[in-house]
Amino acid sequence: MLYRSLGQTGLKVSMLSFGASSLGGVFHEVDEPDSIRTVHVALERGINFMDVSPFYGLTKAEIVLGKALKSIAREKYILATKVGRYGHAMKDFNFSAPRVTASMDESLKRLGVDHVDLIQAHDIEFGDLSQVIGETIPALRKLQKAGKARFVGITGLPLTALRTIVEATPIDTILSYCRFGLNDTALTDLIPVLKKHRVGIINASPLGMGLLSNRGAPNWHPASEAIKETCARAAAHCRARGASIEKLAVQYSLTNPDIATTLVGTANPKEMDQNITWANEPIDQILLAEVLAILKPVHNVSWPSGRQENN
């Protein structure tokens, strides 16, 4: 496993890392012992960075991750969680200082730790960005001063919203998802800005939250039918070549050295083990060229997320 510096934090994170949303059963029903084993496989094989949120499985992912981490020495992992998002509807977002401050303590309790390494405002495009800048981030900085979190970050889908915050106030990290993978590399355009502001870059969802998999995207997936169909054609092409789109997708997500780490999610220990093995193998350049050609019609085509003005 290769390790890369996360911006100016001084943290060295594994280039492939573990996203725990699957532990909340967000893709399909999951088994708790399998979930716990998945976390242990990730750590045993060199992954040192884990990301979760109270939103995933409506606190279930944090609870299960906490159980998995109970037997692991605290210095063995770098842990990130989030504040501000607590459900699917607009009313389930709350970026106010009192709510995010209380949320931090709730997460620490569920995770069974006295601090996290990174606390992130979750899906900022659903909030009023001026509140995120003027109230949420300062509240998270207070939590940092109190020793509850070592660093402060933001997460979201629209790159314009991430950029607005980064240019307005100092931020340690951003987490961008579904914008650096086989079908979408738009995050690349934001990298010069992020480097200028010395922001650590976390990429998430190398399988496009299921788009780039043989199982296909879950029902709730926000991508258009055109994106889903084109990705399914790319998956079928890999199958016909005796290869796996998942492998190509994981490997491709790790190809940009400016991206410190890519979070992949699963609650299946065998899949996690495979993902790590793939991360350490060279990419099949011929298959890659074929798949990129199939995906070209939907390249960098995303979907709206959050408030209209933040897209």
The one among 13, 48, 51, 161 contacting ligand NAD by CB under 6 A: 51
DSSP-assigned letters across all residues of 246-276: HHHHHHHHT--TTS-EEEEE-S-HHHHHHHH
**Residue 98 and residue 5: Cα distance in Å, rounded?**
32
Q: Which of 110, 252, 271, 279 binds ligand NAD (CB under 6 A)?
A: 271
Closest CB to ligand NAD: residue number:
19
Please report, as a single letter, which amino acid is at residue 303: W
Choose which of 9, 81, 213, 302 interacts with ligand NAD (CB under 6 A). 213
27 counts as binding ligand NAD under rule CB under 6 A? yes
Distance separating alpha carbons of residues 172 and 57, to the nearest angstrom: 27
Site for ligand NAD in 233-252 (CB under 6 A): 246
Active site residue 252: no
Distances (CA, A) of 270 to 9, 40, 217, 247, 277: 32, 12, 20, 13, 11
* Identity of residue 275: N
Distance of closest approach, residue 263 Cβ to ligand NAD, in angstroms: 4
Q: Least CB distance from residue 274 to ligand NAD, whole Å?
A: 4
Q: Which residues contact 115 (CB under 8 A, 6 or more apart)?
A: 108, 147, 148, 149, 150
Annotated catalytic residue within 3, 56, 177, 252: 56
Note whether 117 binds ligand NAD by CB under 6 A.
no
Catalytic positions are 56
- Binding site residues, ligand NAD, CB under 6 A: 19-22, 27, 51, 122-123, 155, 175, 177, 204-210, 213, 246, 263-266, 271, 274-275
